[in-house]
Amino acid sequence: MPFRLRFIPLLLCLAATASGVERVVLKQDGERHTVTGRLLVTAEDGGMLIVGPDGKLWNPSPEDIISHEHDDEPMQALSAEEQGRQLLAELPDGFEIHHTQHYVICYNTSRGYAQWCGSLFERLYKAFNNFWSRRGFRLHDSEFPLVALVFGDQKSYADYVRRELTGGAGSIVGCYSLRSNRMMMYDLTGVETLRRPGDRRANPAQIEQMLSRPEAEHMVATVVHEATHQIAFNCGLQTRYADMPLWFSEGLAIYFETPDLNSTKGWRTIGAVNHGRLATFREYQRKSRPADSLTTLLASDDRMRDSEQAVNAYAEAWALNYFLLRQRPKQYLAYVKRLSEKTPLIWDDAEGRLREFRQAFGDLQALDADFVKQTNKLR
Ligand SMILES: [Zn+2]
Measured CA to CA in angstroms, residue 294 lies from 43, 109, 152, 169 at distances of 32, 44, 41, 27
pLDDT at 40 over 80: yes
Does the pLDDT value for residue 15 go beyond 70?
no
Please tell me the distance between residue 229's alpha carbon and the centre of ligand 1 in angstroms: 7
**Alpha carbons 21 and 103: distance in angstroms, whole number:** 25
Mean pLDDT for 200-218 is: 81
Predicted confidence at residue 10, as pLDDT, reads 40
Question: What's the pLDDT at 98?
Answer: 98
Rounded to an integer, what is the distance from CA 218 to the centroid of its chain? 17
Reply yes or no on whether the pLDDT at 216 is more than 50.
yes
| In contact, 124 and 228? CB cutoff 8 Å | yes
pLDDT of residue 263: 74
**What would the mean pLDDT of 217-239 be, rounded to a whole number?**
95
Q: Is the pLDDT of residue 266 over 80?
A: no
Evaluate whether 235 touches 256 at the Cβ level (below 8 Å).
Answer: no
Tens-place pLDDT, residues 269-296: 888 999 999 999 999 999 999 999 999 9
Lowest pLDDT segment from 91-95, 204-208, 356-360 = 204-208
Residues of the chain above pLDDT 90, percent: 75
DSSP codes of every residue in 182-195: EEEEE-GGG-GGG-
Least confident of 11-15, 63-67, 242-246: 11-15
Q: Which of these, 240, 379, 243, 259, lies nearest to 322 by C-alpha position?
A: 379
Topology of domain 80-235 in CATH is Glutaredoxin (3.40.30)
Q: What is the pTM of this model?
A: 0.92
Confidence of residue 18 (pLDDT cuts 50, 70, 90): low
> If you average pLDDT over residues 59-84, what whole number do you get?
95
Nearest-angstrom CA–CA distance, 248 and 256 = 12
Check whether 9 has a pLDDT greater than 70: no
Return the percent helix, strand and coil in the chain, to nearest 5.
45, 15, 40
Contacts of 93 (CB under 8 A, 6+ apart): none
Distance 34 CA to ligand 1 centre (A): 31
Task: Say how far residue 223 (Cα) sits from the centre of its chain.
Answer: 11
pLDDT score at 4? 41
Q: Cα(67) to centroid of ligand 1, in Å? A: 36
Percent of the chain with pLDDT over 70: 93
- How far is ligand 1, taken at its centre, from the CA of residue 249, in Å? 7
Q: Cα(297)–Cα(162) distance, rounded to whole angstroms?
A: 28
Q: Looking at this protein, which amino acid is placed at residue 213?
A: R
Q: Looking at the predicted structure, is the pLDDT value of residue 243 above 60?
A: yes
Instruction: Label each residue of 119-146 as H, E or C.
Output: HHHHHHHHHHHHHHHHCCCCCCCCCCCE
The amino acid at 30: G
Q: How far apart are CA 358 and CA 23, in angstroms?
A: 42
User: Residue 326 pLDDT more than 90?
Assistant: yes
Average pLDDT for 81-93: 97
Alpha carbon of 364 to ligand 1 centroid (Å): 25
Strands 146-151 and 96-99: unpaired
Asked if residues 170 and 161 have their Cβ atoms less than 8 Å apart, the reply is yes
Distance, in Å, from the CA atom of 246 to the CA atom of 252, rounded to the nearest integer, reads: 9
Mean pLDDT score across all residues of the chain: 90
> In this structure, which CATH number among 3.40.50.150, 3.40.50.2300, 2.30.30.520, 1.10.3720.10 belongs to the domain 13-71?
2.30.30.520
Q: Average pLDDT, stretch 307-323? A: 97
CA 206-211-212 angle, to 5 degrees, is 95
Distance from residue 323's CA to the centre of ligand 1 (Å): 19
Provide the 3-class DSSP secondary structure of residue 364: helix
Decide if 13-71 and 80-235 have a common fold. no
Q: Is 183 left (phi over 0), alpha (psi -120 to 50) or beta?
A: beta
In this predicted structure, what is the pLDDT of residue 354? 98
What number of other Cβ atoms are within 10 A of residue 8's Cβ?
10
Instruction: Please report, for residues 150, 160, 317, the alpha-carbon distance to residue 206 in angstroms, rounded to integers and kept in the order given.
Output: 18, 28, 35
In this predicted model, which residue has the larger pLDDT, 190 or 138?
A: 138
Distance of CA 250 from the midpoint of ligand 1 (Å): 5
Tell me how far the alpha carbon of residue 163 lies from the centroid of ligand 1, in angstroms: 19
- Rounded to an integer, what distance in angstroms lies between the CA atom of residue 255 and that of residue 274? 8
* Ligand 1 centroid to residue 251 C-alpha, Å: 8
Beta strands in the chain (DSSP E): 13-15, 21-28, 31-43, 48-51, 57-58, 65-71, 96-99, 103-107, 146-151, 174-176, 182-186
Domain coordinates in residue numbering, the chain:
13-71, 80-235, 275-377
Confidence bin at 166 (pLDDT 50/70/90) = low
pLDDT at residue 53 greater than cutoff 90: yes
Is the pLDDT confidence value at 14 over 50?
Answer: no
Across 60-69, 265-274, 329-338, least confident range: 265-274
- Give the residue-averaged pLDDT of 118-122: 94
Name the DSSP class of 328: S
Higher model confidence: residue 162 or residue 279?
279
Q: Residue 247 C-alpha to ligand 1 middle, in angstroms?
A: 10
Indicate the residue type of 371.
F
